[in-house]
Amino acid sequence: MKLKRVLFLFPLLAVLLFQNTVTAEGFLRCQDRLVYLGDTKAKVLDKCGDPDQLDQWEEDHNSYISQIYDYGKEQYIAPKLIKGPILMERWTYNMGSNKFIRYLYFQNGELTKIETGEKGNN
């Protein structure tokens, strides 16, 4: 009976230990300046500089996307119908060998998601 428990728990433990390190966050610190969800591309460029890598693509016409509203410290996500193509961008910032790579996702020029990836390199 104990062997069955061990055999059951081993794959679960392996998944937890070796899962991808990407996590979502609500802000990014660039030197001493903060970038928040909802910021424009211009604000992010001003605070963080040019990304190390930039990927662009378009998504469906007349689609619903999530918009993030920030009233003080309360944030919530609401669907919004966008007429026309949605321009998606992913900016990659390699913060150095002792820090994690950051992925910033934009929808039509607005920062909608920040993810932390694996350790960077330099």
- Report if pTM > 0.75: no
pLDDT digits (tens, 9 = 90+) for 22-62: 556 788 998 889 999 999 999 999 999 999 999 999 987 66
Instruction: Compute φ and ψ for 2, nearest 5 degrees.
Output: -65, -35
Residue 84, both tokens: 């026309």
Is 90 exposed, middle or buried (CB count within 10 Å of its CB: 0-12, 13-18, 19+)?
middle
Q: Of all residues in the chain, what percent are helix, strand and coil, respectively (each to 5)?
A: 20, 50, 30
